[in-house]
Structure 1
Amino acid sequence: MPAIIDAGDIIAGFAFLLSGYATWQTVSFNKKQKSLIESQEKLNYLLMEKENEDSLKEKRADLGASFIKIGSTKYRLKIWNKGASTARNVRIEFPDGNDVVIDSEVADKFPMESLERHQSVELIATVHLQTKRKHVVRLLWEDDAQSHNEKLSYPTL
């Protein structure tokens, strides 16, 4: 018996093809939407990390040291705080020995109770021909982020 195709069969075939295309489009859209959601979750995570890091930066002090020249022969060792927070209980050590800063200066000024943001302290340095040009200074302090911070600085003359 020959198969007879009438208008209803043709309409049903088109409906079947249209349904298959719609299903394929829906699956494709869902994959794209899932990818977008994953990207958005990663972005949210990165934004939260950045916010946490910025919040922590606001609680940190950042100390540094360098020699500054005053006039033609006078030098000072300048300790400063360029962080966003106040440094408390600031201490200074010279791991390789101190042959440049006057000991009474260190004893009189350190430990410092606090070193505010953008505040600095200067120590009188005695420089002569045998003074080595590079020194190691260990700075120790407390701030709102941590109770023990340490930084090695290498000021040069």
Structure 2
Amino acid sequence: MSMDIVSIVLSAFAIALTIIMYFKHDKRLKKQEEKLNAYQLKKIDEEESENKKAQVKGNVIKGDKGRRDLRIYNTGKAPAKNIYVEFLDNYVGHDNSAEKVIVMDYPTPYEFLNTNDHFDIIMHLYAYNSTDVLKVRLTWEDDFSNQNEHIQHFKLT
């Protein structure tokens, strides 16, 4: 009879231990699932934000006889609106005065720029009086924000 009691006690202990281990494991799985769900929701939110953002940047293309084209392009996933190009250097002008870089007229603000599209701003450098670097501030609006800004330096020589 005492063997039966020991056997019952051991069986009850094994069942209790199995139940405790099951609940601990279940709790751990639920925590992991909660973290995974939070991570997935964060990723979805980030993707939705990225899909609303334009990314406006520039590149300088060398031409003949001191001509440079400042190519402004959108590599983002959303269209850019009201793009302003501001030349931050004091040696940039729009006429033939003593500036080192002459910028030809261009639409400002540039109203709309789709993803992977671009527009060009024609510039001319004075051969003997040109500068090495041009500093430009690009500002635009997109579906994510109305106050986007990117400052970029361009090597002209």
Q: Is the TM-score greater than 0.5?
A: yes
Does structure 1 retain, via aligned residues, the 8 Å contact 2:81–2:110?
yes
Taking only the aligned residue pairs, the percentage that are identical comes to 26
Q: Decide which structure has greater helix share.
A: 1
Distance 1:98 1:120 in 2: 25
CA distance in 2, matches of 1:110, 1:82: 20
Aligned to 2:98: none
The number of residues matched between the two structures is: 147
- Gapped regions of structure 1 (runs ≥ 5): 1-7
- Aligned-pair CA distance for 1:82: 0.9
Following TM superposition, by how much is the alpha carbon of 1:130 offset from its aligned partner in structure 2, in angstroms? 3.4
- 1:115 paired residue number: 113
1:25 aligns with 2:18: yes
1:115 counterpart letter in structure 2: L
- TM-superposed CA distance for 1:14, in Å, is 1.0
For 1:24 and 1:84, how far apart are their aligned partners in 2? 55
User: Between Structure 1 and Structure 2, which shows a larger proportion of strand residues?
Assistant: 2
Q: What letter is aligned with 1:125?
A: M
What is the aligned-residue RMSD (CA, Å)? 1.8
Superposed displacement of residue 131, structure 1: 2.4
- Larger CA Rg, structure 1 vs 2: 1
* 1:35-54 paired onto structure 2 within 5 Å: 35-54=28-47
Name structure 2 gaps, 5 residues minimum: 93-100
1:138 aligns with 2:137: yes
TM-score, with normalisation over the residues of structure 1?
A: 0.84
SS of the residue corresponding to residue 151 of structure 2 reads strand
TM-score, normalization by structure 2:
0.84
Alpha-carbon distance in 1 for matches of 2:128, 2:33: 62
- How far off is 1:73 after superposition? 4.6
